A and B are shown apart, each in its own frame.
Chain A
């Protein structure tokens, strides 16, 4: 099956800093989403982005499907950005395979 690796596994930022999170996948996909899991466990949709670039406020994402990776950019980070960021991919179906996650902590 498809393998999904995320990096870095852990990240500590000072408030206001920028960061880039990476998601590599081992095979071609036609669905890809980025999620933020807050400290209470709720998964929040950030982007549906099987290809191309999208922006939403301080967040943006880029997927280069031909090279099998996706990037999530967080600018001017805030303490509320803390949590775990997952990418999830699917090929041919909507059964998502979740990545290993990046655990982010933003310090005030």
Chain B
């Protein structure tokens, strides 16, 4: 199957610090990855599309200078939350797009819980 990992799974940080989250596709290459945010008891909201070798595209209302995305290789995308504040506390989930059997399917990582104090 298609496996996507995220690291770290949990992070607690002080307000004003930056936090980097890694998303890796372990057994397939992904030119496209996605970053989502999920608040408690809510649905997933797409933040940005990460494209290998080019700039990420951000959804409306998502600050690109605050949420830095780098897709440096076909198996790794990183999301850096800069100058984190308590309102950035959330569950961040990445997905990787895999082409197989004529269809392209998103496979999700296990998520990263961020708590900003």
User: Which residues of A are in contact with B by a Cβ distance under 8 Å?
Assistant: 31, 33, 35, 40-45, 48, 86, 88, 94-101
Contact = CB atoms under 8 A, between A and B. Distances in A.
B46 A95 contact: yes
Interface string B23-38: 0000000001010101
Contact of A48 (B34, B36, B105): B105
A97 B46 contact: yes
B104 A101 contact: no
A45 B105 contact: yes
* B contact patch SS: strand
Contact of B103 (A48, A86, A98, A99): A48
A96 B36 CA distance: 10
Contact of B108 (A42, A97, A101): A42
Nearest to B49: A95
B93 interface: yes
Nearest to A101: B43
Nearest to A31: B104
Contacts of B91: 41
Given A43-B93, A101-B43, A96 B110 contact: no
A94 B111 contact: no
Contacts of A101: 43
A94 B107 contact: no
17 contacts: A31-B104, A33-B106, A41-B38, A41-B93, A43-B44, A43-B95, A43-B111, A45-B106, A45-B107, A45-B108, A86-B43, A94-B34, A95-B46, A96-B106, A98-B44, A98-B45, A100-B43
